[in-house]
Amino acid sequence: MSKNTPITVARGDGIGPEIMEATLAILKGGGARLDIEEIEIGEKVYLRGNPAGIEPSAWESLRRTKVFLKAPITTPQGGGFKSLNVTTRKAFGLYANIRPCLSYDPFIRTKHPKMDVVIVRENEEDTYSGIEHRRTYDVVQCLKLISRPGSEKIVRYAFEYARAYGRKKVTCFTKDNIMKMTDGLFHKVFDEIGAEYPDIEKEHWIVDIGAAKLADTPEVFDVIVMPNLYGDILSDVAAQIAGSVGLAGSANIGDGCAMFEAIHGSAPRRAGQNLANPSGLFLGAVQMLVHIGQADVAEKVHNAWLKTIEDGVHTYDIFREGVSKQKVGTKEFGQAVVARIGQKPVKLKPVDYSKAPTRPLTSRPPYKRDTAKRELVGADIFVFWPTGTMDQLAAKLQPLAADGMKLEMLSNRGMKVWPGGMAETFTVDETRCRFQLPEDKPGSISHEALERLLNRIQKAGVEWVKVENLYNFNGQPGFSRGQGQ
């Protein structure tokens, strides 16, 4: 018998303590080999004046155990409270969010009886970097950051997951027909890394039609890997159409640490009534058992859970006259699962974790940074220009270009408005002014030349509010053209 694995447990808020109690009872009944350290997180910690919702001592426990089983928490209403999930994901680099969405037809109602999809969501980047600004009266921005190492990590994880769990296909969703550089990079990395997995089928869908297909015919998908925002939205859609968001668990995996949870919240209105369904948290805990190398226990308790569902022992949220046999509370549901340990479902497919990976799926080749020649060739200078016309702005700026650069274009909300703008184009109080070396003239400019240009612009009475440098990589532009440029 192997020795116990230390884990950190937080009972959370609302229904959290009840569903955690039931989950731990099932794990214990299945013989999970765990040493549990408990920490306090959530509402009480927030209200004690800690905006992160977690005490510094709790981080110590997580650093020690590196495995976190977390019940949902209540984020108090009002500003200033940071999302504990986002903080934990970022602090521990939990880059992969894994959410299996499976139908349990005919025992749990779904329009998609054959659905069996695993969503692999990138968890750290994209618009979730939290870099937002307001510079002018009219416009706010959120930076969407996609990195090559970040994309490589998540895409490789998706393929490794597929291989380890006997999945046949990995699909990638992006919107690279519009976001050619950010989503384009994610898609490119998917193609590059996918080529290393000839045994696995690969496909790419534009996220809008992919999402429509997922909602309509989820059985055509197997593993789907996505950047953060699409993954956030579509993993909830997938869980809901599989049967209920109340049934899905998720794993947040990093190189050194991992967090397991239900996908639903703390359901405060159901708290303290022994009503809530513990299945989401339980299924998160099953992923945890596999992760810590206790696939034997994971298989035993997961099959007992499937048998309980199949026997019609259901909490109120999945109870259906004619299908369900017994309506039970949180605690009794846990007891029903424990009573079935050792049994397997007959109609539902039993799980088999005998081939589950015995090591965490995080090893990968070292990252190789691109070595292309990088040259500064100009800048997009955003200016505050609330009232004048675009022709007037261009007339002010054109004479200021020097050091080989030219004013190439003005664009407003990405739409080219000079030269050759259209009178009908709606404009706001921030305009992007592209100063650039002519494309047919190789070379580069210095940062000092840019500084001089910014000073001349400011002296001419135009306020610059942001500068975005333009670089060529091996002579190829590392920036997009304006719409209409």
| Residues at the contact surface with ligand NAD, assessed by CB under 6 A | 15, 19, 72-75, 85, 246, 261, 264-270, 276-277, 280, 317
Closer to ligand NAD by CB, 194 or 280: give it. Answer: 280
Instruction: State the burial class of residue 51 (Cβ atoms within 10 Å of its Cβ: 0-12, 13-18, 19+).
Output: exposed
Closer to ligand NAD by CB, 156 or 270: give it. Answer: 270
- Evaluate the omega torsion of the peptide bond into residue 227 and state whether it is cis, within 30 degrees of 0: no
Closer to ligand NAD by CB, 45 or 155: give it. Answer: 45
Closer to ligand NAD by CB, 85 or 436: give it. Answer: 85
Instruction: State the burial class of residue 119 (Cβ atoms within 10 Å of its Cβ: 0-12, 13-18, 19+).
Output: buried
Q: How far is the CB of 276 from ligand NAD (least distance, A)?
A: 4
Q: How far is the CB of 33 from ligand NAD (least distance, A)?
A: 26
Structure tokens, 15: 């229904």
Give counts: helices (H), strands (E), the chain. 13, 20
Q: How far is the CB of 328 from ligand NAD (least distance, A)?
A: 12
Q: How far is the CB of 41 from ligand NAD (least distance, A)?
A: 9
Q: How far is the CB of 96 from ligand NAD (least distance, A)?
A: 17
Taking the CA atoms of 286, 331, 274 and 54 in sequence, report the sign of the dihedral they define.
negative
CB closest to ligand NAD, residue no: 265
Closer to ligand NAD by CB, 72 or 218: give it. Answer: 72
Closer to ligand NAD by CB, 274 or 444: give it. Answer: 274
Closer to ligand NAD by CB, 165 or 316: give it. Answer: 316
Structure tokens, 107: 């025992």
Q: Which residue type does 208 have?
A: D
- Give the number of other CB atoms < 10 A from CB of residue 43: 19
Integer Rg of the chain from CA: 27
Closer to ligand NAD by CB, 26 or 172: give it. Answer: 26
Residues 6+ positions from 415 with CB-CB distance below 8 Å:
425, 482, 483, 484
Place of tokens 């990088």: 374
Q: How far is the CB of 279 from ligand NAD (least distance, A)?
A: 7
Name the pairing type of β-strands 169-174 and 201-206. Answer: parallel
Cα torsion 24, 25, 26, 27 to 10°: value is 50
Q: How far is the CB of 170 from ligand NAD (least distance, A)?
A: 26
Q: CA 10, CA 73: separation in Å to the nearest integer? A: 9
Strands (E), 254-294: 258-262
Q: How far is the CB of 231 from ligand NAD (least distance, A)?
A: 15
Give CA angle at 66 (350, 250), nearest 5°.
40
Q: How far is the CB of 126 from ligand NAD (least distance, A)?
A: 19
Closer to ligand NAD by CB, 27 or 276: give it. Answer: 276
Which is nearest to 21 in space by CA: 5, 38, 3, 4? 38
